[in-house]
Amino acid sequence: MYTKEQFAKLIDYTLIRASGTADDVITLCREAKKFHFAAVVVLPFWVGLAVKELEDSDIKVCTTVGFPHGASTRSTKVHEARNAVTNGAEELDVVMNIGAFRSGDIDYVRREISDIVSAANLSGMTQDAKRTLVKVIIETPYLTKDEKILACNVVRDAGADFIKTSTGTAQNGSDVEDIRLIRSVVGPSMGVKAAGGIRTVEHAMDLLDAGANRLGTSTGVAIVQAYDPDELLKASR
């Protein structure tokens, strides 16, 4: 069982809606500092503001690449990754080119992810030699089981750190069975992030039990406030 502090450190607190304002980003960052989440996830335009707000804190700044459909050209996504790291992002949530993948152009998808990983880390080396964490979104609701397995292998072989289930824009992005499948494919050493519709402690715990080790949600504060390890222990007896 996790302590409340350990549980919060498994959450990426997310604000990726188009209508989000500077004040919303500032509020997100201040709440993240209060609850000590793993990271905040903001759209690329807001990276600089989030970095400023989270200076000298234990919260990472994460942003998106190719959001939400992954269908930008490879060079565009590589530039976006470099720009994000230059602006201070320490983690990237990269949307795989889903259309290219489902068309069978696996070599293109693998090369794109590898290029983004390389570009992000080379950009990071110019600042303080920290490695940039790259999480690749495979958008599980759009894939068959065989496609999910293939996507996991492609992403792992391309050098990414995490496989993430969904952008949150597709239905049922945080399916427990998907997490269980992904973990069975990638083994214990690779990160697995669940995202999309995580709104309750029970759902969060089911995903963690299935093999996720990071959760992306815009309702992080409510979930952490509702998390009571003593009550969960009682319920499990």
Which residues are designated catalytic?
A: 93, 164, 193
- In angstroms, how far is CA 160 from the centroid of its own chain? 12
Give DSSP secondary structure letters for 27-69.
Answer: HHHHHHHHHT-SEEEE-GGGHHHHHHHTTTSSPEEEEEESTTT
69 CB-near residues (< 8 Å, 6+ apart): 95, 98, 99
User: Dihedral (C-alpha) 36, 2, 195, 225: value to the nearest 10 degrees?
Assistant: -60
Q: Is 198 helix (H, G, I), strand (E, B) or coil?
A: coil
What kind and span of H or E run contains 164? strand 162-164
CB atoms within 10 A of CB 175: 19
Chain position carrying tokens 């069982």: 1
Contact 42, 50 (CB under 8 A): yes
Chain position carrying tokens 């080119």: 97
